[in-house]
Amino acid sequence: MPLPSRLPSLLGIRHPIIQGGMSWASSSAALPLAVSRAGALGVIAAGPMRPEDLVAAIRAVKAGTDAPFAVNIPLYNKRAAEYLDIAEAEQVPILIASQGGPRPHLPRFKARGVVWLHVAASEEHARKAEAAGVDGVIVVGAEAGGHPPPSQVSTLVLVRAVARAVSVPVVAAGGIADGAGILAAMALGADGAQLGTRFLLTEEATVHPAYKQAVLAAGIADTALVGRDGLPVRQLRNALAEAVNGAERAGRPKEEVLALFERHSLKDAALHGDVAWGKVEAGQSAGLIHDLPPAAEVVARLVAEMEAARARLCGG
C-alpha cells in the first residue's frame, strides 16, 4: 500500500521523493533525467547556468523522458527573470523557487498550470508563501548542505512547526539520506522529502571526482556552517572553513571575514576540484552515505527502505 502523500498526484511522480536542486551537481540534464526516469522528481538547478545551457538541459530532459521534472530558480539570482522566462517558454511543468518572494511571479505560471513549490526557511515564510498561492512548501532544516535556514533550527523541529502552520503539502529537507529518514519526515506531517547530499553522491551528479570523494569520506560531524555574516553555507570542514570560522572567533572585522569567505566559491570545488579552499557544500548526512551508485539505484533503494521502516514500525 503506498504511503499517504499528496506529492504523487500534485507532481505526477511515483514516489514522494525530490532530488534537491544543487548548483553545479544538477546544473545539467544528467542527474535530473536519471531521477525523473526512476519515478522521483529530478530538479535542474539553474543558479550557475548560462541561459542557453539551461534551455539545452531542459530540452535534453524532455527528450529523455515523459516524466515530470522541475527547475530550481533562486529568485535573488541576477538572471532570475531570464530563467523564469525560459521556464515559461520551454513549458517546464514544475518550478522550485528559493530565496525570494513568489507573489509577483505566480499569476503567469498558475495561468499555465505550472506547479510552484517554494523553499521556506521558517513558519512565517511558509505561511506567506501559502497565502501567496504556492502549491507546496519545501522546508530546509539546519542539517542541510548548501544554504540552511538563518535560524539554524533543525529539520526535526522546523518541519513539525511548518506542518502545523500550513495546509498545503510540505516537503522536508535537510539531513535525510535514506528511507527511514523520509518516513520520519512523513511522521512529522510532511508529504515527502527532498534529498540533496544523497543525490550529490551518485554517478550522474556533475561535480569534480575529488568533491565526491571528499564528501564520501566525511563523517556526520565533518561539516560546518561557514560565513555567518554573508549567506552562510553548510560545507565540509576544510582550510576555508577553518580560516573563515577562525577569523570570526578571533574577532576580525566583519568585512575582512566576508571578503575571505567570498574569495572562494562552490565552483572552485565543484568544477576545479579544490576541496581545500573551495566551498565543498554538503550536509551532515554525508556521514550516513558510503557509496556512489547510479541515481536510479538510490531511488529504488529509498523506496525499499521506506517500506522496511514502515514494516519495522507497524509490524507489517
Ligand X SMILES: Cc1cc2nc3c(=O)[nH]c(=O)nc-3n(C[C@H](O)[C@H](O)[C@H](O)COP(=O)(O)O)c2cc1C
Partners of 95 in the beta sheet? 71, 116
CA-CA distances (angstroms) from residue 203 to 61, 181, 195? Answer: 17, 22, 15
> Which region among 4-12, 82-90, 139-147, 248-256 touches ligand X (by CB under 6 A)?
139-147
Among 106, 121, 173, 182, binds ligand X (CB under 6 A): 173
Q: Which set of grid coordinates corresponds to residue 91?
A: 513549458
> Which region among 9-17, 78-86, 171-179, 289-297 touches ligand X (by CB under 6 A)?
171-179
Among 196, 232, 278, 287, binds ligand X (CB under 6 A): 196
Please say whether the beta carbons of 86 and 58 come within 8 A.
Answer: yes
Q: How far is the CB of 315 from ligand X (least distance, A)?
A: 29
> Which region among 55-63, 101-109, 144-152, 183-191 touches ligand X (by CB under 6 A)?
144-152
Of the candidates 209, 228, 223, 136, which has an alpha carbon nearest to the alpha carbon of residue 177?
A: 223
CA distance 45 to 21: 5
> Which region among 31-39, 137-145, 220-228, 308-316 touches ligand X (by CB under 6 A)?
137-145
Note whether 175 binds ligand X by CB under 6 A. Answer: yes
Between residue 72 and residue 111, which ones bind ligand X under the rule CB under 6 A?
72, 74, 98
In the complex with ligand X, which residue's Cβ is closer, 136 or 283?
283
Note whether 281 binds ligand X by CB under 6 A. Answer: yes
CA distance 261 to 314: 48
Q: How far is the CB of 309 from ligand X (least distance, A)?
A: 17
Q: Where are the beta strands (DSSP E) in the chain?
A: 17-19, 42-45, 69-74, 94-98, 115-120, 136-140, 170-173, 192-195, 223-226, 233-236
Total binding residues toward ligand X, as defined by CB under 6 A = 30
Q: How many Å is the maximal CA-CA distance in the chain?
A: 58
Between residue 212 and residue 251, which ones bind ligand X under the rule CB under 6 A?
none
Q: Residue 39: left (phi > 0), alpha (psi -120 to 50), or beta? A: left
Q: How far is the CB of 208 from ligand X (least distance, A)?
A: 12
Residues of this chain that interact with ligand X (CB under 6 A) are 20-23, 25, 45, 47, 72, 74, 98, 119, 140, 143-146, 173-176, 194-198, 200, 281-283, 285
